[in-house]
Amino acid sequence: MTATPEASETTHLDAHINKHLALLAEAATEIATACSDDLPKLGRTSRAAVMIAGLIENYYTCAETVFVRISQFFGNHLPPDRWHRELLERMCLDVPETRPRVLSDATFNDLLELMRFRHFKRYYFVTAYDWERIDSLLRRIARLTDHLPEELQAFRAFLRQLSETAGS
């Protein structure tokens, strides 16, 4: 490492990631519950799609918050234009002497689609979502629910090792 961060700073980032892992699990549970309990009652209506779309947006925003914290911790300065995509791309980089990659290519691709959807949802007000698109995003959420926590836990293991190095 070129500049070893303080152990307390590393521990703080680790705690932040851990907190957001719980929030991601909660968001995934909300999505699953909405699909299993609410959707059968409401049907595949525009109002049901708005509800699911909002939950998908929340999931992605929670994940992105973790990536922003990681980026800030390692001194990454993001460009003001297209910073959301740049942030995701940086999470796929193995930076020698600094940090390992955070995300696999498959996880990056799923998150990129969620990011695109969030952008669409925020900037193009619609209530008639395409259910095929929603279903595709839900499949991505299911994959992310399996893989993103594992990848973040692996990164936390790196942080704990970094903290031990800083503490010695």
| Angstrom distance (rounded) from CA 149 to CA 25 | 8
Q: Report the amino acid identity of residue 10.
A: T
Q: Is the overall model pTM greater than 0.85, yes or no?
A: yes
Given a cut of 60, whether residue 126 has pLDDT beyond it is: yes
Whole-angstrom distance between the N-terminal and C-terminal Cα of the chain?
Answer: 14
| Angstrom distance (rounded) from CA 27 to CA 14 | 20
Higher pLDDT, 119 or 156: 156
* Domains contained in the chain, CATH given: 7-167 (1.20.120)
Given a cut of 90, whether residue 57 has pLDDT beyond it is: yes
Q: From its phi and psi, is residue 103 left (phi > 0), alpha (psi between -120 and 50) or beta?
A: beta
Q: How far from chain centre, in Å, is Cα 85?
A: 12
Which band of pLDDT confidence, cut at 50, 70 and 90, is reported for residue 3? very low
| Angstrom distance (rounded) from CA 106 to CA 110 | 6
The structure tokens 């594992």 sit at 150
Given a cut of 80, whether residue 123 has pLDDT beyond it is: no
Given a cut of 60, whether residue 1 has pLDDT beyond it is: no
* pLDDT, position 124: 64
Higher pLDDT, 129 or 124: 129
The whole-chain average pLDDT of the chain stands at 90
Between the alpha carbon of residue 64 and those of residues 61, 88, 108, 167, the distances in Å are: 5, 8, 11, 29
Using an 8 Å Cβ cutoff, are 79 and 55 in contact? no
Q: Report the amino acid identity of residue 147.
A: H
Which band of pLDDT confidence, cut at 50, 70 and 90, is reported for residue 127? low
* pLDDT tens profile 33-53: 999 999 999 999 989 999 999
* pLDDT, position 4: 54
* pLDDT tens profile 13-39: 999 999 999 999 999 999 999 999 999
DSSP 72: H
* pLDDT tens profile 82-97: 899 999 999 999 999 8
| Angstrom distance (rounded) from CA 114 to CA 58 | 10
The structure tokens 């307390």 sit at 8
